[in-house]
């Protein structure tokens, strides 16, 4: 991953917001959401445009709502049905809290929301993230591709129940990145972990890459959170065709639109619900 390829996005979109947050007393944040997807896409060497977005999502670890409100009170709130969107450095920014205020683990209790907010895996993804330097001298955490996948699989399992399917196309992006990474291709032909997956899939390298991605995503999580993700996913496990439908992504070059996507969705379900971490 070469984050210099994402220099313009990091400089023009992320850096000004991180600077403003530092002035508000926040020293460490993690990029999530659509801009995170775009940065990973660029860092993986892809220039194709992806689904446009008008805002930025940053996650920050806080001990409780008092600390979160202390930080966010310094910014103008943008009321759009959520209480986590603020104007920072002139941009609409979702400031996603997690950490000490989770109760139970993986859920932020309702406080101005319609219900608890799913942040399952954020703590583990935060620890595994890459610290990427910004032109201002600050840094921002960027999830690894498996970490990004954890957040998207969790979001899909949670939001698809209410008819929100936006995360499917982002899961497709992560699959596409893995399928087109030389390092992943090399792993597929090593005794572990790749060759067992290749044999299992009839030496179908793209499908084996999807299974490896799902396994690597699970490996980001602690065992209890791994089980929490499986529990969250289980009620949707018989709807691979729904996930397959929303894995369609016309912005990815040569990305399939046929029953290949059903096989990819089934591979994810198999790893999440049946297989141990490789």
Domain CATH number, residue 45: 3.30.460
126 plus 158 within the same structural domain = no
What secondary structure does DSSP assign to 12-65, as a single string? IIIHHHHHHHHHTT----EEEHHHHHHHHHHHTT--------S-EEEEEEESSH
Q: Per the structure, how many domains does the chain have?
A: 2
Select from 94, 118, 143 the last residue of a domain: 143
Please name which of 240, 175, 216, 137 lies closest in space to residue 41, comparing C-alpha atoms: 175
Burial of 114 (0-12, 13-18, 19+ CB in 10 A): exposed
What pLDDT, on the 0 to 100 scale, is given for residue 48? 65
- pTM greater than the 0.85 cutoff: yes
Please indicate, yes or no, if residue 148 is contained in any of the structural domains.
Answer: no
- Is the Cβ–Cβ distance between 129 and 141 less than 8 Å? yes
Select from 99, 118, 143 the last residue of a domain: 143
- Residue 28: give the domain boundaries: 3-143
Cα–Cα distance for residue pair 147/165, rounded to 1 Å = 19
71 plus 100 within the same structural domain = yes
What secondary structure does DSSP assign to 166-189, as a single string? THHHHHHHHHHHHHT-HHHHHHHT
What pLDDT, on the 0 to 100 scale, is given for residue 80? 74
CB atoms within 10 A of CB 182: 8
Please indicate, yes or no, if residue 64 is contained in any of the structural domains.
Answer: yes
pLDDT tens for the chain, residues 1 to 278: 889 898 989 999 999 999 999 999 998 999 999 999 999 999 998 876 666 566 799 999 998 888 898 999 999 988 876 788 999 999 999 999 999 888 888 888 865 556 788 999 999 999 999 999 999 999 999 999 999 999 999 999 888 888 888 889 999 999 999 999 999 989 998 878 888 899 999 999 999 999 999 999 999 999 999 999 988 887 655 556 788 888 988 888 889 987 899 999 999 998 988 755 55
68 plus 8 within the same structural domain = yes
What pLDDT, on the 0 to 100 scale, is given for residue 236? 55
End-to-end CA, the chain:
22
Tokens of 118: 């799913």
What pLDDT, on the 0 to 100 scale, is given for residue 277? 55
Looking at residue 5, what DSSP letter applies? G
Select from 91, 121, 143 the last residue of a domain: 143
19 plus 86 within the same structural domain = yes
What pLDDT, on the 0 to 100 scale, is given for residue 47? 76
Please indicate, yes or no, if residue 105 is contained in any of the structural domains.
Answer: yes
């Amino acid at each position: 991953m070469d984050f210099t390829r994402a220099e313009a996005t990091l400089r023009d979109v992320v850096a000004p917001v991180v600077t403003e947050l530092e002035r508000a007393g926040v020293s460490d944040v993690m990029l999530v959401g659509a801009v995170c997807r775009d940065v990973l896409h660029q860092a993986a060497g892809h220039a194709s445009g992806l689904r446009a977005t008008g805002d930025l999502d940053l996650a920050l670890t806080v001990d409780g709502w008092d600390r979160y409100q202390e930080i966010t009170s310094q910014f103008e709130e943008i009321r759009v049905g959520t209480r986590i969107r603020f104007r920072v450095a002139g941009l609409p920014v979702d400031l996603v809290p997690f950490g000490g205020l989770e109760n139970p683990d993986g859920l932020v209790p309702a406080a101005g929301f319609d219900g608890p907010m799913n942040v399952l895996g954020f703590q583990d993804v935060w620890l595994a993230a890459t610290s990427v330097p910004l032109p201002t001298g600050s840094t921002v955490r960027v999830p690894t591709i498996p970490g990004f996948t954890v957040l998207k699989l969790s979001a899909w399992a949670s939001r698809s129940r209410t008819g929100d399917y936006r995360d499917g196309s982002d899961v497709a992006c992560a699959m596409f990145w893995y399928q087109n990474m030389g390092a992943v291709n090399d792993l597929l032909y090593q005794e572990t972990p790749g060759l067992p997956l290749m044999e299992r899939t009839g030496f179908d390298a793209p499908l084996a890459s999807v299974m490896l991605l799902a396994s690597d995503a699970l490996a980001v999580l602690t065992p209890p959170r791994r089980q929490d993700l499986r529990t969250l996913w289980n009620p949707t496990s018989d709807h691979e065709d729904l996930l397959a439908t929303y894995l369609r992504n016309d912005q990815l070059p040569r990305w399939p639109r046929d029953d290949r996507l059903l096989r990819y969705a089934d591979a994810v379900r198999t790893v999440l619900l049946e297989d141990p971490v490789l």
